[in-house]
């Protein structure tokens, strides 16, 4: 990419704001319109210029296109012109109004997700079992069974995993931001008499855990509901001790529209390589990723379902 196109792309203040915004969070065109307060046609025109200058890239998530900085801008080649200009932008504090609108967009994402689960409530277990069966999580856990570990179930929901975890590990920390789901987890009959489960109400953007408190953190079909998966993974990296482990089970990228509407997912699954990059950026190494076999829909009324994969990694020392 010629230097003239790159300098031209960043000569406009709106395009600078777009890139500053995307350096903080991946956003859709609609969200960028809200953040910038400009018409969609104007924002789309600026995005095209930035994309042609190889400063940003787009990623389709179902029918929505999300934008983020390109690898040339934030990747390993720090000598590139894009990288030098991006570092310059990073040193410039975004306007406070811009930062406020970014927070508003992310808060709305979060509120929509919480609202979905408030509505689903006790039906969540059956909905998920109808789509995937009841044993895929046990398959994912077979490689991680040291009895002495402290295990954090991130986004525990109604406590679907907790009976198995409570029997396998010394201590389990169940974290869930939705009050009704957390209370359902506390009330599970299978956990009566279990004194090694610590229930905590908390947001995945700021986990109620100390640094390095867990030997293992599990995010079981959680990240596709999270407004900002990178932030959630960064928090997981914070609470896992050095040489501790992470285990993530997620949906593969899919186009199962009826399934997504029923299950309330924000993201249409993940590309395995992309999620692995986010986990690596959160401080984990030695990543292993493989597909999981699922029973498929067990109810005639259940929609077509996406494939699943498991990703594990070790926290860097």
Q: What's the CA gap between 157 and 149, in Å, rounded?
A: 21
pLDDT of residue 115: 93
Residue 76 predicted with pLDDT over 70: no
- List, for residues 11-52, the tens digit of each pLDDT value: 888 998 998 899 888 999 999 999 999 999 999 999 999 998
Write out pLDDT tens, residues 63-74: 899 999 887 777
Structural domains in the chain, CATH included, are: 3-94 (1.10.10.10), 121-315 (3.40.50.150)
Over residues 231-269, the pLDDT tens digits come to: 999 999 999 999 999 999 999 999 999 888 888 999 999
Task: Identify whether the C-beta of residue 171 lies closer than 8 Å to the C-beta of residue 151.
Answer: yes
pLDDT score at 67: 93
- Report the DSSP beta bridge partners of residue 69: 56
- pLDDT at site 239: 98
Q: Which residues contact 42 (CB under 8 A, 6 or more apart)?
A: 14
Q: Are residues 252 and 311 in contact, defined by beta-carbon separation less than 8 angstroms?
A: no
**Quick one: pLDDT at residue 146?**
80
**Quick one: 272 exposed, middle or buried, by C-beta within 10 A (0-12, 13-18, 19+)?**
middle
What pLDDT was estimated at residue 77? Answer: 63
pLDDT at residue 91 is higher than 80? no
User: Each residue of 269-292: pLDDT tens digit?
Assistant: 999 999 999 999 999 999 999 999
Task: Between 98 and 158, name the one with better pLDDT.
Answer: 158
Question: pLDDT digit string (tens) for 176-235?
Answer: 999 999 999 999 999 998 999 999 999 889 999 999 999 999 999 999 999 999 999 999
Q: What is the DSSP string of the chain?
A: --HHHHHHHTSSHHHHHHHHHHHH--EEHHHHHHHHTS-HHHHHHHHHHHHHTTSEEEEEETTEEEEEE-HHHHSS-TTSHHHHHHHHHHHSPPPHHHHHHHHHHHHHHHHHHHHHHHHHGGGHHHHHHHHH-S-HHHHHHTT---TT-EEEEET-TTTSSHHHHHHHSSEEEEEES-HHHHHHHHT-GGGTT--SEEEEE-BTTB-SS-TT-EEEEEEES-GGG-S-HHHHHHHHHHHEEEEEEEEEEEEBS---HHHHHHHT-SS--B-HHHHHHHHHHTTEEEEEEEEE------STT------EEEEEEEE--
Q: What is the pLDDT of residue 144?
A: 64
pTM, full prediction: 0.69
Neighbours of 107 (CB within 10 A): 11
Tell me: pLDDT of 118 over 70.
yes
Q: Is the pLDDT of residue 305 over 70?
A: yes
CA 305 to chain centre: 19
pLDDT tens for 134-155 read 767 776 765 567 889 999 999 9
Chain centroid, CA 224 distance in Å: 6
Please check the confidence at residue 1 and state whether its pLDDT lies above 70. Answer: no
């Amino acid at each position: 990419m010629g230097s003239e196109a790159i300098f031209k792309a960043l000569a406009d203040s709106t395009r600078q704001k777009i890139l500053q915004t995307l350096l903080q969070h991946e956003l859709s065109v609609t969200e960028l319109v809200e953040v910038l307060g400009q018409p969609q046609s104007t924002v789309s025109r600026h995005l095209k210029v930035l994309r042609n200058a190889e400063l940003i890239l787009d990623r389709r998530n179902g029918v929505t296109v999300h934008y983020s900085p390109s690898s040339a801008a934030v990747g390993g080649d720090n000598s590139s012109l894009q990288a030098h200009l991006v570092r310059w932008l990073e040193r410039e504090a975004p306007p406070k109004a811009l930062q406020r609108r970014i927070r508003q967009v992310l808060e709305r994402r979060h509120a929509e997700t919480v609202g979905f689960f408030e509505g689903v409530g006790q039906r969540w277990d059956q909905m998920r079992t109808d789509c995937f069966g009841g044993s895929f999580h046990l398959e994912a856990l077979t490689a991680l069974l040291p009895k002495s570990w402290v295990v954090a179930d991130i986004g525990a929901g109604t406590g679907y995993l907790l009976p198995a975890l409570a029997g396998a590990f010394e201590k389990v920390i169940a974290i869930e931001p939705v009050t009704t789901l957390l209370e359902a987890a506390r009330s599970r009959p299978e956990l009566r008499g279990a004194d090694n489960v610590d229930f905590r109400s908390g947001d995945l953007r700021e986990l109620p855990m100390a640094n390095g408190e867990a030997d293992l953190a599990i995010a079981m079909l959680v990240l596709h509901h999270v407004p900002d998966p990178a932030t959630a993974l960064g928090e997981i990296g914070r609470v896992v001790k050095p040489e501790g482990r992470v285990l993530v089970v997620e949906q593969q990228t899919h186009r199962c529209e009826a399934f997504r509407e029923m299950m309330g997912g924000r993201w249409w699954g993940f590309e395995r390589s992309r999620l692995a990059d986010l986990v690596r950026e959160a401080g984990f190494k030695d990543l292993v990723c493989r597909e999981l076999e699922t029973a498929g829909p067990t109810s005639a009324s259940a929609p077509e379902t996406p494939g699943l994969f498991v990703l594990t990694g070790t926290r860097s020392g």
